[in-house]
Amino acid sequence: MQMFDVVNAFGSLPFAELEVGKHFYWNIGNLRIHGQVFMTSWFVIGVLLLLSISATRNIQTIPSGIQNFMEYALEFIRDLVKNQIGEKEYRPWVPFVGTLFLFILVSNWSGALVPWRVFEIPNSELAAPTNDINTTVALALLTSLAYFYAGFSRRGLGYLLKYIQPTPILLPINILEDFTKPLSLSFRLFGNVVADELVVGVLVLLVPLFVPIPMMVLGLFLGSIQALIFATLAANYIAEAMEGHGEEHHE
């Protein structure tokens, strides 16, 4: 099994006993899925469901506690979507963008707070869902489907005219842009999450007594920024799809 080593003044320390390309698989019929990604994703979904149920179980006129926190989160997401899409058309997109934001946020936070590597599984190790490229690609593809749906819903077949505007010469470039958007979204999120966790892991090994808590705080901050960037770009792409060429952005 291949070892990733951290080398310091005292020698070599094992960082992770993980063979490249190896995963913990579940075989369901002819379908093969990454079990470790599903387990951590279900954990994140469970946390979000628990928070939602707790916040709505006994709704008060004057919110407090978890209800107040969740209402603040909803207001934050609503403002984010409204600023990107506009006052008139933002409401139908709040659930979608909000789900993306909350799932990525809690996933990233789980990577900073939950000691996933303590739980041993065959041929792999647990990590935040967004630590796996399959998760980030899936989220990016959902975003692509969303802005295509937004464009065709708003402009019908006229949406296709965007590919030849402002000149038909740009057709290949405009088509390529639709492929680069999900790629940039997925690799940006995946790369930053993996880099953050590797840096934290290395520093914790080198200075185990002093680094963990500040690094956990830094991980929470960086995870929040990545969730915000992804959700903001998703909302922006949806807004662009609904705009005709030369139309002014609605505020």
Q: Which residue in 185, 141, 135, 137 sits closest to 34, CA to CA?
A: 135
- Report the alpha-carbon distance of residue 231 to residue 251 in Å, rounded: 18
The angle at the Cα of 157, spanning 153 to 162, to the nearest 5 degrees, equals 95
- Report the alpha-carbon distance of residue 52 to residue 44 in Å, rounded: 12
* pLDDT of the residue at 212: 65
Classify strands 25-28 and 31-34 as parallel, antiparallel or unpaired.
antiparallel
- Report the alpha-carbon distance of residue 238 to residue 231 in Å, rounded: 11
Cα 59 to Cα 77, 93, 94, 171, 195, distances in angstroms: 20, 24, 21, 52, 40
Element (H, E) at 51: helix 35-56
* pLDDT of the residue at 106: 94
The angle at the Cα of 187, spanning 184 to 192, to the nearest 5 degrees, equals 120
* pLDDT of the residue at 238: 92
* pLDDT of the residue at 79: 94
- Report the alpha-carbon distance of residue 187 to residue 183 in Å, rounded: 6
- Report the alpha-carbon distance of residue 20 to residue 9 in Å, rounded: 26
Q: Which residues on adjacent β-strands are paired with residue 125?
A: 120
Residue 113 makes CB contacts below 8 A (sequence gap 6+) with: 216, 219, 220
Q: Which residues on adjacent β-strands are paired with residue 5?
A: 14
- Report the alpha-carbon distance of residue 244 to residue 240 in Å, rounded: 8
* pLDDT of the residue at 220: 86
Six token digits for residue 113: 């707070």
Q: What is the chain's pLDDT, residue by residue, as a tens digit (251 residues)? A: 344 443 344 344 444 444 445 667 778 888 777 788 888 899 999 999 999 998 888 877 777 788 888 889 999 999 999 999 988 888 999 999 999 999 999 999 988 787 777 777 777 778 889 988 889 999 999 999 998 998 888 888 877 777 777 777 877 887 888 888 888 888 888 888 887 777 766 766 776 666 667 777 877 888 899 999 999 999 999 998 887 544 444 44
The angle at the Cα of 92, spanning 90 to 94, to the nearest 5 degrees, equals 70
Q: Which residues on adjacent β-strands are paired with residue 26?
A: 33
Provide the whole-model pTM: 0.81
